[in-house]
Amino acid sequence: MLNEKCITEGCDLTYAVCKIGGRWKLIILCKLEEGRLRFGEIRKQIPNITERMLTLQLRDLEKEGLVKRTVYAEVPPRVDYELTEIARDLIPIWRQLENWGAKHKELTK
C-alpha cells in the first residue's frame, strides 16, 4: 500500500495506469463503451473471464469511479453497469493505445 502511494503520487501517468491496469479492466471498459450492460451480458462478451474475476474487476472499477452500478428493485434483482463521465474521457486514449498496439504487433512479427 505504501509503495503504491509512493509510485502514484509522483507521476500522474503512473497514477492513471494503476487505475486502468490489469488484465481485464480495459477490456471491461471497452465492452461498456456502447452503453450499459448487465453482468451476464459482459460475461458473454468476455468468455475467458471467470465470474469471480469479473465481479472483482467491476467492484474495483466502481470504487475508482470509472463504472457506475445501478441496482433495480425488481424480482429477480437486475443490475446494470455503465461508464461514468470520467471513464468516457478515456475512450480516445484507449483508441490511441489500440492503434499503437496494432502497429507494435506488426513490427514484432
**Domain coordinates of the chain in residue numbers?**
23-107
Residue 33 in this model has a pLDDT that exceeds 80 = yes
Residue 8 in this model has a pLDDT that exceeds 70 = no
Residue 100 in this model has a pLDDT that exceeds 70 = yes
| Class in CATH terms, 23-107 | mainly alpha
Q: What is the pLDDT of residue 71?
A: 94
Query: Are the beta carbons of 29 and 20 closer than 8 angstroms?
Result: yes
Q: Strand (E) positions, 1-109?
A: 37-38, 67-72, 78-83
Could you give the CA distance from residue 76 to residue 99 in angstroms, rounded to a whole number? 41
pLDDT grade, residue 41 (50/70/90)? very high
Could you give the CA distance from residue 73 to residue 63 in angstroms, rounded to a whole number? 22
Q: What is the pLDDT of residue 1?
A: 56
47: which 3 cell numbers? 468468455
Pick from 21, 29, 94: which is nearest to 66 by CA? 29
First-to-final CA distance of the chain: 38
Indicate the DSSP class of residue 75.
S
Radius of gyration (Cα) for the chain, nearest Å? Answer: 16
Q: What is the pLDDT of residue 64?
A: 95
Helix axes 2-10, 12-20, angle to 10 degrees: 130
Note the pTM of the prediction, 2 decimals. Answer: 0.86
Q: What is the pLDDT of residue 4?
A: 66
Looking at residues 76-83, what average pLDDT do you find? 93
Looking at residues 63-81, what average pLDDT do you find? 93
Residue 102 in this model has a pLDDT that exceeds 80 = yes
